[in-house]
Each structure stands twice: as C-alpha cells, then as structure tokens.
Structure 1
Amino acid sequence: MVQYHGQAYGGEFVRVFITGITGPVGSALADYLVALPGVEVHAFKRWRSDTRPIAHLAGRITLHEGDIEDPYSVMRAVERAAPDRVYHLAAQSYPSESWDAPIVTMRTNVEGTINVLEAVRRHAPRARVHLAGTSAEYGWVQPEDTPIPETHPTRPLSPYGVSKVAAGLSGLQYAANYGMHVVVTRSFNHVGPHQGDRCAIQTFCRQMALIEYDRQEPVIYVGNLEARRDFTHTRDVARALWLLLDHGAPGEIYNLCSGVATRIGDIVAMVQQHGRVPTEVRVDPARLRPSDEPLLVGDNTKLRQTTGWQPQITVPMIVEELMAYWRERLASGG
C-alpha cells in the first residue's frame, strides 16, 4: 500500500499541490479533492489570476502566490506545501496565442515545468507528479490513424504543441534519471465551467445565451461544422487524474480523453434544441482555420485498463450544463 507522510491513504491526510488551480481543470480538481476525506489541498497561483473559479473554496485550500517562470517562488511554495501529490496544470494553453508569443509559451510551459520538477526533486522527492500534456503534441493525424494511441509519433504543428512535447519529455527524463514518480497525460478537448468561451461548445452556448438575453442577433456564428472532436468534462478529468496517481506507472504517458468523436455541427444542433428562441447558423470565415484536422479522437485504452476509469458525462449533458452556466453568468451581470 502506498504511504503518505507515514499514513496509508484513507488514513490521516494526503497533501496535494496544484498549479494552475484557477483554470477549468485545476478548479474542477480542487472541487473533487476537497470532498475527499483526509486530503489537504495546496495551490500555486499568480497574484493577478482571476480567483472567481475557486472563490467558493476560500478557507478550504491553502494558496501560495508566485509565478511558474520564477524558480524561487515555485521552490518556496513546494517546500512549504511538502506535498505527496503534485498536479502541474499551469500553462500557456492556447495554440493560437503561441504563434504570437512563442517565447513566452516556451518559458511558461517548458521552463515552468522544469521549475516544478526541480522544486519537487529538492523538497518532495517522494511525491507523485502529474504533468499535463495535450493532443496537440500529435499534430496532424490522418483519419485512418485514429483513435490515436500514445505510441503515435509526435509531430506538433504549433509552438504550443512543441512546448508540451518538451515539457513531457522533461518529466520522463526526471523519472528516468532521478527515480521520481512522474506520469504524463496527453489531454484532448476538456470542457467545463470557468473555461471562458474559447472552446467550440463554450462559444456556441455563450452565443445562445446572449441571443436569449437579446444581446446578440439570433445568429450562432460557427467555423468548420464537419470536424469531429473528442470531448471530456473536467469533472471526469479530475477523477482520472486522482486515479492515475494511484495506479499509473512512473515514466509513462496516458491519453486523457473520452474515446468518442462528436461532429461539431451536431453540437450546434444540440445547443439550438436547448435554446429558448429560434436561431440561424452562419459560418464566420474568421472562425475557419487554415488547416483543420477532420477527425481527432484519442484511444484511452491504456488509461482505462490502468485505473478502471470511465467517463461518465456525455456531450449532451455537457451542453445542458453549459447552457445553464452561461445563462446564470448573464443573469448575474457577467
């Protein structure tokens, strides 16, 4: 049985340290962890980060401020937290922005990851560490090569994808050379509250809510409707991450995905069905990418067999929840 601070899990307590806690996965993970018995949550955030996604957790988690690019603040936070588990989720996570800021993307995602790994190596060497990667590491994948397994070659097509390949390999290097317990995930599309509207499902639900509140003409603007993507709810992701540090092998990579591809046009139709007013769908050329993979779906067999995890929240359930989320935000003046 794995030991934490001399206590078996399920005993006195487990200390967890999360970077990127104000993001959609970080906040969902914090929600999941505070409901578990004997789990003490520490988190690392920038002073300027929007804390509204975790405002309801005030007094239930310990926050450490700093910057992931500053090795001293990361080192100090890890030393104070003395974690048993580390979830490194902080990142510059938008491929489109990585083209405008490639150096910042590399510093945040590569140097930031090394800062975390070094801090853990020095101050919590027995901690189990999770590093969040992305399906963007695979790059362009032909439909016949899907669902994508972890063994598929990495051919990233953006500075963001390159940075995540480098960050993941850094983690594997620390596992191999220092004996650290590091596991890496390659995440496909994650969806949940506190995400903003950059994800396709989010932007459709937000537009419908704006239309219902008479703040947008009754038109949902879309990009490529024929693309098919793999979506997983952030609450399912949180469960997977906890199980993965229980059962995942150090030095291994796991796809974190639903294993199911949904056509974007079908998601738009679901949003319209949930809408309270009739709408038109119109293609916005600005939303069309120069290159857009027709099908991106991951193979989650390795994760399921290792942890027993199964996704529980379907795309129709996601749409229903996010419609309610955006209506509530607009009703409260958001």
Structure 2
Amino acid sequence: MAQSMPTTAELLGTRQRILVTGGAGFIGGAVVRRLLRESDAVVFNLDKMGYASDLTSIEEVIKELGVEHQQRHQLQAIDLCDADAVEKAVQQANPDLVMHLAAESHVDRSISGPGVFIESNVTGTYNLLQAVRSHFEQLTPERREQFRLHHISTDEVFGSLGREGRFSETTPYDPRSPYSASKAASDHLVQAWHHTFGLPVVLTNCSNNYGPWQFPEKLIPVVALKAAAGDSIPLYGDGLNIRDWLYVEDHVDALLLAACRGTSGRSYCVGGHGEKTNQEVVNAICHQFDQERPESAPHAKLIQRVTDRPGHDRRYAIDPSRISTELGWQPRHNVEEGLAETVAWYLSHQDWCQTVRKQAGYDGGRLGINQAKTN
C-alpha cells in the first residue's frame, strides 16, 4: 500500500502563484488540474498551444469548480523560444514555484524533424532559466527561501538498458535520439544554472507516462483507437522493447512532492514499477477488447509488425528508491489497472480524439520514417 500523501495545499504551503510551462499538454494538464482542484493557488499556464496542446480537460475542471475559479487559471499563450515574451510572462506571473514541463516529446517526430526539438527543448529552456533567474534575484529573502524551479525530464536521457539493472540518479547520460539528446541538454542547463548562478532547482526524470487526455499519437491511445476501428495495429520490430509504465496521476503525486519538498540541486527518478514489453501492452489492450467486443475477437489478429524505429532503445526501467525513501512517494496504480482504465477512457472519448487529431493535422499514421529531413 502507498504511504499517505500530503494534500496539494499542504505541499504548497505559502506558495500561491504557480507557473506551469506546457500546462496544456498531457502531463502539464494533469498538474494544472490537480492544482486547481486541490489548492487555492493561481496557476499561470505558459504554453505555445502547439499541435498537442488542448485545454478541454482544464475547462471541464473549471466548470466543475464554478465560475468564481476561472481567474485562477491564467493562460499565457507564449512560445518559450521568444525570449522577450518569456521574460514578460514570468514577470507577470511573479511565481513562487515554476514547474517546467513544456517540451517536444515524441521520438518519432524528433526523427522526422529534429530542429524544433533543439529550439523548444534547449533554447526554450535557456530562455526560461534566464527569465526565472532574473525573477529569483528580485525576490525577498522570505520568498527566495520557498522558491524552486522544477525541471521535468525523461528516463530516455540515460540511453538503453540490457536485460539487467535499472536507471537511477547516478546513471551516466547516454541519449540516443534527437528527442532524448535535447532533453539531456536541457537537464545540463538547469544544473549549470543551479551551480553557477545559485538558482534553486529540482529535477525529475520519469518513465513512460500513460493515462487519459494524452494526445493520440503515443502507443496506448494509438492501439486502443485502432482496435476500436478495426484497423491494423502497428508493432515496431519484434515487439520486445521494454518500457516502465507510469500512470500520469501517480506522476503528478511525485512531481508535487519533488517540487515542494525536494532538496535544491537534487534529481529524483520516477518510475511506475510497470515494466512491460510493447508486445505485452498491445496484447493486453487486445484482450480487453476481446472481453468488451467478443463479436470482433480475437483483436490480436489486427497486429501488424512494421519496420523498427531507427535507434530504438531496447529497455527502460527506473529505480525510484530515492524519491520513495526521501519523500515518501509510491505509485497508487499498477499497470494492469491503469491500462484498463486508460483504454476505457479512450473508448468513451473518441470524439475528443478525432477533434484534437483534426486540429493538429494528424491522421493517425506513422511518423519518424524519413531520417533525411533536418528541420
């Protein structure tokens, strides 16, 4: 059983102005919803409103809470690559805490067009660090004591594992894709601004997230939606690549703990104790469809092996001992339960999936095949 978690309001304490970058994205949106539901903080949502950005889930929470809470969510539709706009946005937010989740994050897209990943994840993080540094230096001593910039990153910066071992905070960096290389660079920038300029920072590196409201280009929503439509389900290579699956709400628990109670300058690895091969994940989704739609069983007949992704890391797995021991975090969902809930959610929200796909100009097809493009 997981330990009892402090409430969001207890974790925040006197921090009442929270800046979340990428708050219209999948994980960022989950953070924003939690802050709105479980605290009185004002949330400044800095998001460029790109292809994977969507405010539907946040709007639903505000509707639940009542119109009097509308002013607690302040959208700042800004691209982190615009340094002047970022500086003005940070000044306007005047934050007690910054949670930096904005990032281009899809490996296949980074193969097709790596340039935007360098711009968003590296230059964008640099611009944010400079703006936040200026803000921090103007704070009163009391607010400085409470202030943190929390940089959210990925386990992919550590490269690929063999059959044994797990990533931890001491694992050497070894990124293998344009995406993971850009995230590794942003991690190093954050640590440099801590050591050189004294900016109080906390870093977290997480495993693969899944759950409701994820843009339908990632494995679990893609498989669920293709199974629902009776379309072929693509499985890269031999299907034996392993990921450590982390339910998004469990990740939010970890993020708030790290942001509010983590030690400045320290990093924390967050994993869901949910290692599964891609084949196992796809089979589990097909099995769920067999139970719910037996007339179309077996859904596994839809699985089609396709050419593997270039540079496809073989295995990711995280040892979350530090965040569990130091901060008391434990995941509340096992992967079987979380996967079943997630697939059911996508089946009941197919209209939303179609809408965001259309807005993004994404037809559900495979990305990352063309390695020749450079931007």
TM-score, normalised via structure 1 length: 0.88
* Contact 2:283 2:300 survives alignment (8 Å): no
| Percent of pairs with identical residues | 28
Q: Give per-residue Cα distances to partners, 1:128-179, cap 9 Å, x unaligned.
A: 11112111211132223x2111211111111221111111111111111222
- Of residues 203, 207, 216, the one that matches 2:222 is 203
1:305 CA displacement: 1.4
Q: How does 1:106-125 map to 2 (within 5 A)?
A: 106-125=118-137
> Structure 2 stretches of 5 or more lacking a match?
1-9, 63-69, 138-143, 355-375
> Structure 1 stretches of 5 or more lacking a match?
1-7
Amino acid paired to 1:28: A
Q: How does 1:251-290 map to 2 (within 5 A)?
A: 251-275=265-289, 276=293, 277-278=296-297, 279-286=299-306, 288-290=308-310
Between stretches 46-55 and 185-194, larger displacement belongs to 46-55
Measure the CA separation in 2 of the matches of 1:74 and 1:122.
Answer: 12
Measure the CA separation in 2 of the matches of 1:110 and 1:262.
Answer: 31
Q: How does 1:3-82 map to 2 (within 5 A)?
A: 14-46=16-48, 49-58=53-62, 59=70, 60-82=72-94
TM-score, normalised via structure 2 length: 0.79
Off by >6 Å, runs of 4+ in structure 1: none
1:85 CA displacement: 0.9
1:12 CA displacement: 6.1
- Of residues 224, 229, 234, the one that matches 1:221 is 234
Structure 2 vs 1, CA of residues 332 and 202 (structure 1 numbering), >3 Å: closer, same or farther? closer
Q: Give per-residue Cα distances to partners, 1:220-259, cap 9 Å, x unaligned.
A: 4323432221011111111111100122111222212113
Determine which structure has the larger helix proportion and give its number. 2
1:272 CA displacement: 2.2
Specify which structure has the bigger relative contact order, considering alpha-carbon pairs within 8 angstroms and separated by 6 or more residues: 2
Q: Give 1:128's aligned residue.
A: 148
Structure 2 vs 1, CA of residues 199 and 122 (structure 1 numbering), >3 Å: closer, same or farther? same
Measure the CA separation in 2 of the matches of 1:134 and 1:10.
Answer: 24
1:333 CA displacement: 8.2
Measure the CA separation in 1 of the matches of 2:302 and 2:33.
Answer: 37
Q: Give 2:249's aligned residue.
A: 235
1:329 CA displacement: 2.2
Structure 2 vs 1, CA of residues 122 and 331 (structure 1 numbering), >3 Å: closer, same or farther? closer
Superposition RMSD on alpha carbons, in Å? Answer: 2.3
The aligned length equals 321
Determine which structure has the larger strand proportion and give its number. 1
Amino acid paired to 1:106: I
